[in-house]
Amino acid sequence: MKAKIRLYVEQPLGQGQDVSLSRDQAHYLFGVMRLPVGAHVALFNGTDGAWRAQVVAAGKRGGTLQCHDLIAPQVMPPDLWLCFAPIKKARTDFIVEKAVEMGARRIVPMVTDFTNSERIRQDRLQAHAVEAAEQCGATYVPEVTALTKFDALLAQAADRQILFCDEAEAGSQRGLSDAPKGAWCIFIGPEGGFSDAERTRLQSLPNAHTLSLGPRILRAETAAVAAMTIWQTRLGDW
């Protein structure tokens, strides 16, 4: 029987493995979705693939599922980080959701000179990433990191290629025609764009590649989707 509900768990998964549910998970499965004992759920934990599991105990505060069959192998996304400056709450949520759907391996909120918000709820954004993975059929949930300063992020990305989406290049033809495959990160600036100092810094790096996202200046959340689409079609797993 095909499981219609997918659930991310942190326990190991394998044939005959019992999985204990948290109170929130039990409420979702038995209180919201009204699953009875005997119902099937697809489980994944980011390392062991997706498993068809059966409800063997159901309660208001907990429950137990038992793994039966491997239904999908573990598939890792490309080694791509999406680095973006947080914007308004709903739009930041959108960026995290789409980053998961489009195959980012790591999601990095960053502080730039013109970043509008210098505080995030990392736990809330991580929960949002989990929900997105459950919905889109992924077997991996990317980490949403703590807010990272621009300079510190450049140091972390020293051994990666950097795709720098520069609004100043709107209308140019700069693209990824000669870019190498491997580990990458995409830099998306805030609503005010990157500062002149940040732009100069990025342009001076030997591992940075400037990209135009077309003839019009895009909003930050649109730019994130556009940049990931271009990268995935040319260098990723699409």
Tell me, what's the pLDDT at 173? 58
User: Distance between CA atoms of 215 and 192, rounded to whole angstroms?
Assistant: 18
Contact partners, residue 33, CB within 8 Å, separation at least 6: 5
CB atoms within 10 A of CB 70: 15
Tell me, what's the pLDDT at 178? 76
Which tokens sit at 232? Answer: 């995935």
Task: Give every residue of the chain whose pLDDT is below 50, as ranges.
Answer: none
What is the pTM (predicted TM-score) of this model? 0.93
Q: Read off the DSSP letter of residue 118.
A: -
Domains 6-72 and 80-235 share a fold: no
Tell me, what's the pLDDT at 175? 66
DSSP string, 56-82: EEE-SS-EEEEEEEEEE---PPPSEEE
Give the CATH fold of the 80-235 domain: Alpha/beta knot (3.40.1280)
Residue type, 157: A
Phi, psi of 13 (to 5 degrees): -120, 140
Q: Are 182 and 79 within 8 A, CB to CB?
A: yes
**Helix (H, G, I), strand (E, B), or coil: what is residue 210?**
strand
Task: Answer left, alpha or beta for residue 111, where phi above 0 means left and psi between -120 and 50 means alpha.
Answer: beta
DSSP H helices, 184-219, are 196-204
Give pLDDT tens digits for 175-214. 677 788 999 999 999 988 899 999 999 999 999 998 888 8
Domain ranges of the chain: 6-72, 80-235
User: Distance between CA atoms of 77 and 140, rounded to whole angstroms?
Assistant: 8
Quick one: 6-72 is in which CATH superfamily?
Hypothetical PUA domain-like; domain 1 (2.40.240.20)
